[in-house]
Amino acid sequence: MGNCSQGCQHYFCRPKNTNVRVSLPAVCFVWQVAMIILFGVFVRYDKEADAHWSETKKEENITSNVENDFYYRYPSFQDVHVMIFVGFGFLMTFLKRYSFGGVGFNFLIAAFGLQWALLMQGWFHSLDPVTGYIYIGIENLINADFCVAGCLIAFGALLGKVSPVQLMVMTLFGVTLYAVEEYIILNLLHAIDAGGSMVIHIFGAYYGLTISWVLYRPNLHQSKRLHGSVYHSDVFAMIGTLFLWMYWPSFNSAICYHGDGQHRAAINTYLSLAASVLTTFAISSLSAKRGKLDMVHIQNATLAGGVAMGTAAEFMIQPYGALIVGFCCGIVSTFGYLVLTPFMEKCLKIQDTCGIHNLHAMPGVLGGVVGAITAATASNAVYSPEGLINTFDFQGNFATRSVTTQGAYQAAAMCVALIFGIGGGALVGLILRFPIWGDAEDDNCFDDEVYWEVSGLNFKD
């Protein structure tokens, strides 16, 4: 029962009660009511979504409705939205008897998380000090979805081992930590991270892994019979994989600056992802008897190229640079599944259901490093003076920052993400160990019947 001293075992090791009939509705109601009150006090439409827009247009000399940010970002927003709910949701249906939990709890915590993220990110980024209001528009919705993505990554490590109430608590704290970490990285350090290699992936992955470490289940092998896939659950998971893969260019370009920034981010991500597919297939085949491919690799490591292009998405990394990043990620990520995941479970006592260390943590770190290097080597010749200012937002307080300094701050940002992930995960993991959250026994993990009415199962055990 967890990686802690034996002294606390007495308290923590009472027989488990998975009845969430009181706790789950209570948490849902209390938090939703809190959201309504806080939104009532703090949140209003921003000027582009407010009915005063026709006045704003006159004041700001905007001639066409098409200049409303909605038209620049809405298609990308919808793609990101699909990634959050169908992408992450179906990626987690791969277990033979935990598909309801995978897609259903993903739905629950994402729907809660995005509300809380609008508030937390709003307080840090969009609060008008005069009126005291947070003004939200389409970019806030995208950022809220991004923030939720961090928590869903963490969910990947915990899949099948925690109760929905624990997931709600994990999301509440995760979103809070994310908003602070994001503020430090983007505003104080002024690092660039449009697709969130650091802010989303490093943070989310280490947050989840640390929680998983604290919640270590020594007898998880008792659920071995359910800890795997069946034929059709692997096909369901491919729905998630493909929607993540296809829409990742939108993810990385969604909040880039208008024009060439969004355009370039989409191209880079498209190429990086394509390259990681080939190296994933190569390593997967190379590692198995008779060259047989493993669905777990195809479902996950093919996405590593998107994770690793998060930071440098809008940089002038050039098409071949993007291919190199994807090439490396596919290899690293697939090796992770082959070598690291079993090692971590056995030696480090980290049980990582979906292998988020391979899909998010390592490619995220790689992405952060690539971002730091490419930022430090940026030049006026490659970017044009105005392009350099646009890309790195060298304006206001940061007008005089050099690209080398920027590179150093990018590296620092990576450390911040790591610290928040590990520190936050340790804290939240301890909270989640209280025996009040309704999680299941070790021999009852990965089983939908604990939290769902399941009828008419159609597979052999």
Binders of a second copy among 287-346, rule CB under 8 A?
288-295, 298, 302, 316, 318-320, 323-324, 327
Q: Closest distance between a second copy and the C-beta of residue 233, in Å?
A: 8
User: What's the rounded Cα separation, in Å, for the pair 155 and 236?
Assistant: 18
Sign, CA dihedral 12-17-18-21, equals negative
Give the tokens for residue 66. Answer: 């098409």
Select 239 or 426, whichever has its Cβ closest to a second copy: 239
How many chain residues touch a second copy (CB under 8 A)? 143
The reply on whether position 143 binds a second copy by CB under 8 A is: no
Backbone angles phi, psi at 395, to 5 degrees: -135, 165
Q: Closest distance between a second copy and the C-beta of residue 35, in Å?
A: 6
Select 141 or 162, whichever has its Cβ closest to a second copy: 141
The reply on whether position 439 binds a second copy by CB under 8 A is: no
Q: What is the dihedral of CA 259, 264, 270, 271, to 10 degrees?
A: 160
User: What's the rounded Cα separation, in Å, for the pair 295 and 310?
Assistant: 25
Q: Closest distance between a second copy and the C-beta of residue 257, in Å?
A: 9
Residue closest to 249 by CA, chosen among 71, 68, 82 = 82
Give the tokens for residue 112. Answer: 């809660």
User: What's the rounded Cα separation, in Å, for the pair 220 and 155?
Assistant: 17
Q: How many CA atoms lie within 13 A of 415 on its CB side?
A: 6
Crossing angle for the helix pair 362-376 and 403-432, to the nearest 10 degrees: 160
Beta bridge partners of 134: 43, 127
Tell me which stretch binds a second copy (CB under 8 A): 81-89, 177-185, 349-357, 403-411: 81-89
Chain centroid offset of residue 210 CA: 15
Q: Closest distance between a second copy and the C-beta of residue 250, in Å?
A: 6
Residue of the chain from 4, 127, 180, 246 that contacts a second copy (CB under 8 A):
246
The reply on whether position 55 binds a second copy by CB under 8 A is: yes
Select 228 or 423, whichever has its Cβ closest to a second copy: 228
The reply on whether position 49 binds a second copy by CB under 8 A is: yes
The reply on whether position 286 binds a second copy by CB under 8 A is: yes
The reply on whether position 353 binds a second copy by CB under 8 A is: no
Cβ contacts of residue 219 below 8 Å, gap of 6+? 442, 443
Sign, CA dihedral 279-282-286-289, equals positive
Tell me which stretch binds a second copy (CB under 8 A): 6-14, 222-230, 349-357, 419-427: 222-230
Tell me which stretch binds a second copy (CB under 8 A): 5-13, 74-82, 173-181, 193-201: 74-82
Tell me which stretch binds a second copy (CB under 8 A): 15-23, 183-191, 336-344, 428-436: 15-23
Tell me which stretch binds a second copy (CB under 8 A): 79-87, 182-190, 362-370, 416-424: 79-87
The reply on whether position 183 binds a second copy by CB under 8 A is: no
| Contact (Cβ atoms closer than 8 angstroms) between residue 83 and residue 76 | no
The reply on whether position 230 binds a second copy by CB under 8 A is: yes
Binding mask 391-420 for a second copy (x = CB under 8 A): x-----------------------------
The reply on whether position 89 binds a second copy by CB under 8 A is: yes
DSSP string for 119-159:
HHHIIIIIB-TTT-PEEE-HHHHHHHHHHHHHHHHHHHHHT
Select 327 or 446, whichever has its Cβ closest to a second copy: 327
Chain centroid offset of residue 138 CA: 19
Give the tokens for residue 305. Answer: 């190229």
Binding mask 94-123 for a second copy (x = CB under 8 A): --xx-xx--xx--xx--xx-xx--x-----
Is residue 309 classed as helix, strand or coil in its secondary structure?
coil
Select 261 or 407, whichever has its Cβ closest to a second copy: 261
Q: Closest distance between a second copy and the C-beta of residue 76, in Å?
A: 8
Q: Closest distance between a second copy and the C-beta of residue 392, in Å?
A: 10
DSSP 8-state symbol, 227 = S
The reply on whether position 278 binds a second copy by CB under 8 A is: yes
Residue of the chain from 16, 74, 422, 423 that contacts a second copy (CB under 8 A):
74
> Which helix (H) or strand (E) is 343 found in, with range?
helix 341-343
Tell me which stretch binds a second copy (CB under 8 A): 173-181, 261-269, 339-347, 395-403: 261-269
| Contact (Cβ atoms closer than 8 angstroms) between residue 271 and residue 308 | no
Select 188 or 454, whichever has its Cβ closest to a second copy: 454
User: What's the rounded Cα separation, in Å, for the pair 110 and 301?
Assistant: 23
DSSP 8-state symbol, 5 = -
The reply on whether position 34 binds a second copy by CB under 8 A is: no
Residue of the chain from 192, 271, 313, 411 that contacts a second copy (CB under 8 A):
271
In the region spanning residues 156 to 175, those forming contacts with a second copy, defined by CB under 8 A, are 164
Q: What is the dihedral of CA 166, 169, 175, 176, to 10 degrees?
A: -150
Q: First-to-last CA distance in the chain?
A: 27
Q: Closest distance between a second copy and the C-beta of residue 220, in Å?
A: 19
